[in-house]
Amino acid sequence: MSINDYLRKKIKESPIYDGVEPSNKLSDESGISYNKIIKLNANENPFGEILNLTEDLSSINIHEYPDPNQKKLRLALSEYTGAKYEEIVASSGSDELIDILIRLFLDPDDKLLDAQPTFGMYEFFAKIQGAKVISVSRKQDFSIDLNSIYKILDDKTKLIFIASPNNPTGDIIKKDDLIDLLNQKIIVVVDETYFEFCGISYSNLINDYENLIIIRSFSKWAGLAGLRIGYAISNTEIIKRIIQIKQPYNINSAAEHVAIKAINNKEKLFEKVDILMEQKDKIYKFLKNKSEVSVYPSSANFVLCDLKDIDADEVYEGLAKKGIFVRKFSNQYLNNALRVSAGTPDQTRKLLQELDKLI
């Protein structure tokens, strides 16, 4: 007997998603002490400790199940976003929402449009569901290629995710392009995970377009990646359907408690957001002055660069030897490219010092 004989065919065919390694593993593999690891490969926010949670967390009733209706958190999110309570639902990170929305709208053999290069979880979850993934290349400036999309739309094409700012390219979808997509009568999910870094949101359109869903996260701007907390904003019917199929207790009590605290301390967190954007600008300007590479403007807390004739593997390994870890891309959409997350000012100084030796 082999367990593989019992697995769904789509599961056997699906690749494993390659997530980034935690700092302790990077430390073990590199031989560099944990406190000297500079992790700039996951667009994380290194300032999460400013919420000072140690004593706060001891007040949570961890023996009780969390509220399945997330009332306190949804009320706090309503105040934070301006959307109504009934137009919001929270999730275990935005990844859970991606999974839920794909299960909500796609039958096996339905089609997901994937505007590449973009966040890999859209394709990952669609393939697990048994849906067909139709990849459409973005334009040279990484904007959405509407003409290419319109050529392949059919009655099986139901869903598209548009990250704005897009990961890993950092560009924002134009409002006119978004409205054109919405008028095609497919479900359009705008992933605003990096909204707080750019301040541009399309959540004000949810009442004009019933096929629009906004998803966001606390991982980046609030530094809560380890607690897995995200949320969706949409019309009440879609929110009801998400609640219908989500796990009842999908938000653990600690994540809910800390997310509310983050909202209540948003001014303090936004100060750190400003610092991260300053560091991103420093990295961008440094790379812009290097004629050997092409660097792309970014509205998020990271920068993407094409190393052209320089071997990205060599630069990646050179940084890793110093305990600095960035994200490497080498595929049909991004060849020989690195994405660098913004960190603390001291991390930026060390990064640029090492990059100057390698480029």
Q: Return the HEC string of 256-296.
A: HHHHHHHHHCHHHHHHHHHHHHHHHHHHHHHHHCCCCCEEC
CATH (domain of 43): 3.90.1150.10
Instruction: Indicate if 163 and 183 belong to the same structural domain.
Output: yes
Instruction: Indicate if 350 and 277 belong to the same structural domain.
Output: yes
Domain assignment present for residue 53? The answer is no
Instruction: Indicate if 159 and 171 belong to the same structural domain.
Output: yes
In degrees and rounded to multiples of 5, residue 342 shows phi and psi of -75, 140
The pLDDT assigned to 88 comes to: 98
Domain boundaries, position 335: 3-48+267-358
Instruction: Indicate if 220 and 80 belong to the same structural domain.
Output: yes
Domain assignment present for residue 55? The answer is no
Domain assignment present for residue 286? The answer is yes
Domain assignment present for residue 98? The answer is yes
Instruction: Indicate if 20 and 99 belong to the same structural domain.
Output: no
Instruction: Indicate if 114 and 225 belong to the same structural domain.
Output: yes
CATH (domain of 74): 3.40.640.10
CA 238: distance to chain centroid? 21
The pLDDT assigned to 53 comes to: 67
Domain assignment present for residue 229? The answer is yes
Residue ending a domain, among 248, 265, 282, is: 265
Cα–Cα distance for residue pair 222/171, rounded to 1 Å: 21
The pLDDT assigned to 332 comes to: 83
The pLDDT assigned to 132 comes to: 96
Cα–Cα distance for residue pair 200/318, rounded to 1 Å: 36
Contacts of 291 (CB under 8 A, 6+ apart): none
Supply 230's token pair: 């995200």
Instruction: Indicate if 155 and 275 belong to the same structural domain.
Output: no
Residue ending a domain, among 212, 235, 265, is: 265
In degrees and rounded to multiples of 5, residue 4 shows phi and psi of -65, -25
- What are the percentages of helix, strand and coil residues in the chain, rounded to 5? 45, 15, 40
Task: Please report the beta strands in the chain, taking only residues with DSSP state E, as ranges in sequence order.
Answer: 38-39, 88-91, 111-116, 132-137, 157-163, 187-191, 212-217, 230-233, 294-295, 302-306, 324-325, 327-329, 337-341
In degrees and rounded to multiples of 5, residue 57 shows phi and psi of -70, -25
Tell me the mean pLDDT per 10 residues along the chain, length 359.
69 69 71 80 80 70 89 98 98 97 95 97 95 96 96 96 98 98 96 98 97 98 95 98 96 94 96 97 97 96 95 95 92 91 97 95
Cα–Cα distance for residue pair 20/26, rounded to 1 Å: 10
The total number of structural domains in the chain stands at 2
Instruction: Indicate if 18 and 72 belong to the same structural domain.
Output: no
Domain assignment present for residue 237? The answer is yes
Domain assignment present for residue 183? The answer is yes
Instruction: Indicate if 165 and 70 belong to the same structural domain.
Output: yes
Instruction: Indicate if 119 and 162 belong to the same structural domain.
Output: yes
Instruction: Indicate if 106 and 175 belong to the same structural domain.
Output: yes
The pLDDT assigned to 119 comes to: 96
Domain assignment present for residue 155? The answer is yes
The pLDDT assigned to 3 comes to: 66
Residue ending a domain, among 265, 283, 298, is: 265
- Which of 138, 140, 106, 144 is closest to 122 using CA atoms? 106
Instruction: Indicate if 136 and 24 belong to the same structural domain.
Output: no
